[in-house]
Structure 1
Amino acid sequence: MLSRTADHLFWMARYTERAENTARMLDVNIQTSMLPQSAQDAEQGWRAMLGISELQSAFDHQYGILTKKDVLDFMVRDTMNPSSIAACLTEARENARAVRGTLTTEVWETQNATWLDMQKKLSSGLLESDPSQFFEWVKYRSHLSRGVTIGTMLKDEAIHFIRLGTFIERADNTARILDVKFHGAKNTMQQGAPLQKDFYYWAALLRSVSGFEIYRKVYRDVITPERVAELLMLRGDMPRSLLACMDEVVENLQQVRNDISADTERFAGKLHAELQFERIEDILAAGLHDTLTEFLEKIFELGNRISRDFLVPLVAA
């Protein structure tokens, strides 16, 4: 497969997944911001989300004073923010358009319809009146895109690059969503039993990653931060966990390997093994925030290695 075609497929999937995960992250904050808390705590929650998304400075430069409305506009509507939902769905559609001949008609029409529907949703005022409903729509369109891709495309190199993009992005965003809770509070979970109100925060986080029912099925007990972290990091049977994502990355890398990708496969395999054989107790002892920060650095490096070995090389500045 041509590297340019692989590049478009990889980034089409990444942008679609990024839009969904941005919606999930915003939904966590929308839900938790409605819980009893001071205005300062609420603002810290929004700042933590911007910080872990590496968007704090860009937001401050554009808006100055932080308000919920401005954060939502910045993270949803603002096409100058490359991580906004509008920007991601636009880029996903543009990458799909560039390789229409490689995609099935159903995959292209799904991407194009999502972009068209987004314009209507944003102009209808749905984001202002019911942001959670808008975020549910984003998640639904991402689910639809994945389902149509798996259900209609030939299982060749094209779908492997799509899957690589999906799970590299999902791993990154799952780590960020989990780290939002701990941003700026290293080793929080070693300081004793959580407050009762934390149950509602963790329940909101689990629902944001479609994990609330899964948690109940796996643990059959009260929600604790330790088990939430274990579920989202080390459970291979949890679809959005870091380990599940790395399972898929390693498998799809094997399917597209070439003469120069051995080091990248080893790098991915080592990261996969660290998750596969790690214990949550050891992660907590080292500090969850530090562990997630290190994982984010490694997944970023892995994405760069995949780009170097398979995709269109980045042009040096």
Structure 2
Amino acid sequence: MLSRTADHLFWMARYTERAENTARMLDANYQLSLLPQSDEYAELGWRAMLSISELSGDYAAGHQGMSNRDVIDFMARDLSNPSSIMSCLRAARENARAVRSSTNSELWESLNTTWLDAQRLLADGVLERDPYEFLEWVKFRSHLSRGVQLGTLVKDDAFWFMRLGTFIERADNTARILDVKFEMLEQRADTSAQPFDYYHWTAVLRSVSGFEVYRKVYRDVITPERVAGLLILYVDWPRSLAASIAEVQHLIGRVMNGRSSETSRLAVALCQELAEGRIQDIMDSGLHAYLVDFLARVNDLASRISRDFLVPLAPDPGAQSQSQSQEGQTQKLESVPPVP
């Protein structure tokens, strides 16, 4: 497969998954903001989300305050933000348009309809009326796109590169969603237990479709350690870090070439560490530090995949600080020709 074709397929899937996970992160914070709490603590949640997404500077450049409406608009609608839901949906559509002959009409129609309907929904005022409705719709359209891939495409190199983009992005974003909550706890001046902490963790679990899974696995009270254990180490749940990296390892094996042996080795090593990890060891060493290190390693894998198989984002794979860096996203958007 031509590297440029693989590049478009990989990023089409990444942007689709990124739109979904941005919706999940927004949903978690929106639900938390509705709970009884101080204005300062509610604002801390939005600041933590922007910080972990590396968008604090971009937001501050165009906004004075930190209101729910402003942050949701910036992360959902704002096309000047390359990580916004609408920017991701547009980029996914453009990458799909560039490689229509390598997929099928069903997948193209799914992504094209998503982009067109998203514009219509926002024009109708859904974001102001009910952000939850729009965020749920974005998640549903992402599920639909993956369903079309799984149900209609031949399992060839094109399919594997799409799946590789999906799980690289999912690992990155699940780590960020988890880190948002723990960053809030670390920044909070009063570290005592909060009366509504149960509802906070419930919102986090629901944001990653993990609440019912948690109940099935633990059948007990929700605790931060168990939430972290589920999201990081539970390999039988497809949104965990362990499950995502296991898929990345498998998919790299499916598309291996003569340059990718080191990339494969690093993926195997990270997968093995997650398979053998213990949540108590992770908590004792510091969850935030663990997640920062994990994000750096996932970014390194993504950069190596770009170097080994795709059109490189930068001459030096180590130059990109995080997989959601603004420079990389801007380059990717500009690499796709505009719609006539």
User: Could you tell me which residue of structure 1 aligns to residue 223 of structure 2?
Assistant: 224
Task: State whether residues 172 and 295 of structure 2, in contact with CA within 8 Å, keep that contact through their aligned partners in structure 1.
Answer: yes
Task: State whether residues 186 and 288 of structure 1, in contact with CA within 8 Å, keep that contact through their aligned partners in structure 2.
Answer: no
Q: Which of 60-69 and 217-226 deviates more?
A: 60-69
Give the whole-Å Cα distance in 1 for the aligned partners of 2:104 and 2:244.
Answer: 25
User: Could you tell me which residue of structure 1 aligns to residue 335 of structure 2?
Assistant: none
Alignment of 1:158-237 (within 5 A): 158-183=158-183, 185-186=185-186, 194-237=193-236
Task: State whether residues 45 and 184 of structure 2, in contact with CA within 8 Å, keep that contact through their aligned partners in structure 1.
Answer: no
User: Could you tell me which residue of structure 2 aligns to residue 40 of structure 1?
Assistant: 40
**Runs ≥4 residues deviating over 4 A:** 184-188
Unaligned runs of 5+ in 2: 317-340
Q: Deviation of residue 66 (structure 1)? A: 1.8
User: Could you tell me which residue of structure 2 aligns to residue 120 of structure 1?
Assistant: 120
Alignment of 1:286-297 (within 5 A): 286-297=285-296
User: Could you tell me which residue of structure 2 aligns to residue 83 of structure 1?
Assistant: 83
Give the whole-Å Cα distance in 2 for the aligned partners of 1:150 and 1:187.
Answer: 42
Task: State whether residues 187 and 284 of structure 1, in contact with CA within 8 Å, keep that contact through their aligned partners in structure 2.
Answer: no
Alignment of 1:67-146 (within 5 A): 67-146=67-146
Give the whole-Å Cα distance in 2 for the aligned partners of 1:255 and 1:13.
Answer: 17
Give the whole-Å Cα distance in 1 for the aligned partners of 2:179 and 2:314.
Answer: 32
Task: State whether residues 231 and 241 of structure 2, in contact with CA within 8 Å, keep that contact through their aligned partners in structure 1.
Answer: yes
Q: Which of 194-203 and 115-124 deviates more?
A: 194-203
TM-score after normalising by structure 2: 0.90
Q: 1:298 corresponds to which letter in structure 2?
A: R
Give the whole-Å Cα distance in 1 for the aligned partners of 2:299 and 2:280.
Answer: 25
Task: State whether residues 8 and 96 of structure 2, in contact with CA within 8 Å, keep that contact through their aligned partners in structure 1.
Answer: yes
Is 2:39 the partner of 1:50?
A: no
Unaligned runs of 5+ in 1: none
Task: State whether residues 175 and 242 of structure 1, in contact with CA within 8 Å, keep that contact through their aligned partners in structure 2.
Answer: yes
Give the whole-Å Cα distance in 1 for the aligned partners of 2:28 and 2:274.
Answer: 25
Q: Deviation of residue 316 (structure 1)? A: 4.5
Give the whole-Å Cα distance in 2 for the aligned partners of 1:64 and 1:272.
Answer: 43
Task: State whether residues 187 and 289 of structure 1, in contact with CA within 8 Å, keep that contact through their aligned partners in structure 2.
Answer: no
SS at match of 1:11: helix
1:128-154 deviations in Å (ceiling 9; x for gaps): 111001000000000000000010000
Note the aligned Cα RMSD (angstroms). Answer: 1.5
User: Could you tell me which residue of structure 1 aligns to residue 336 of structure 2?
Assistant: none
Give the whole-Å Cα distance in 2 for the aligned partners of 1:143 and 1:162.
Answer: 14
User: Could you tell me which residue of structure 2 aligns to residue 23 of structure 1?
Assistant: 23
1:72-113 deviations in Å (ceiling 9; x for gaps): 111011111110000000000000000000111111110111
SS at match of 1:182: helix
Give the whole-Å Cα distance in 1 for the aligned partners of 2:187 and 2:226.
Answer: 15
Is 2:144 the partner of 1:157?
A: no
Q: Deviation of residue 187 (structure 1)? A: 11
Give the whole-Å Cα distance in 2 for the aligned partners of 1:34 and 1:181.
Answer: 15
Give the whole-Å Cα distance in 2 for the aligned partners of 1:96 and 1:200.
Answer: 39
Give the whole-Å Cα distance in 1 for the aligned partners of 2:77 and 2:196.
Answer: 32
Aligned identity (percent) is 61
Q: How many residues align?
A: 314
User: Could you tell me which residue of structure 1 aligns to residue 246 of structure 2?
Assistant: 247
Q: 2:216 corresponds to which letter in structure 1?
A: K
TM-score after normalising by structure 1: 0.96
